[in-house]
Structure 1
């Protein structure tokens, strides 16, 4: 699986070009599935208008509106109640998964419950595009600062761990006064491995284990979590 881990979607030309490079063909020739699940678990988003804006391509964080050949919805909370034969082939056939922001632990819970987390290692030709929590869920730890929703059985801040670094998104966002570089540094001190703080004009591209920062904004790597 190739990854494009963004803070706020495909916000600029550099991130757009990185996406096309990962796809290996024009966006207009690619089939996409969007995953809005993380939004339901976040108290400031939840079900309703925010989910509709994401799916319909009317949000301020471009993902679904990029001109895909086809666009479907993969709702992870529904998958445990249907047979795998009704959804696994669709995932295998798609070119790209577009995963919204929201609550990272809620998303992780449903990735595991649905079976998507177990399927991911077999999706070698699929491109995964994450937005905020959709990016954070692919890391090994999100950090206690980002723990909101908690699963009924309890647990810590661990997530899928496809990559070996953690992500602090929305760095210096004007509507998030708690997301300064100083806040990111404090967060990173609690992360046991490498960690990136990225703003909304930055993304992290991962191809065959090679990590590349794509940015028209600003970011910082904390090499050992501090």
Structure 2
């Protein structure tokens, strides 16, 4: 078995054992989808012609995918480094890119399951999501988004040495980003200066791409621009993570 396959299998089995984390990975964002979907039920956003659920569903889904990616790898790296598992992996020898690839594979599977589940619930008559024929355009930004937020999670997991520190840093980053990027409130209804602030946040590009793909606005060009933004963040966070990465707390 290759090093990549072994790490991927180990990550998968660890995820199955941690049923509480898996449950809340899906349930927590879904609770926001149901809550905001019911609050803004039937309302339209501006002159877009789209109902509020066409902004809420992609936005909350984007936050859920990003949140899961950041927390999963951040906690894993912190625990593995603290327990010297990372140092044992390094001695095999296994490069950092293989560790990342294994986590990326599981994160993609989780992200795709989240997408199917979110979409199925949002399509229920009580919420009334309008799914355009361009919905397949959501796949590239989901993959690029997972990559960007995994690299962000690597950075968090490298900087933090305790579970409390991981939770604090990740929440300080992800919760404000959710509000500023329009995950819980349509970005189109925010003041102009806040919309400009959102352009320096990776979640903005994932939100925007999924909203365009699901609602049929913006076309391929708009989604491609958002994907490019996610690639830029993935490269930036990846370079910082690789530069600061530690295989052990003792080095």
TM-score range (shorter-chain normalised) is under 0.3
Identify, as 1 or 2, the structure richer in strand: 1
For the pair shown, the structure with the greater C-alpha radius of gyration is 2
Which structure has greater helix proportion? 2
Q: State the TM-score, normalizing by the size of structure 2.
A: 0.26
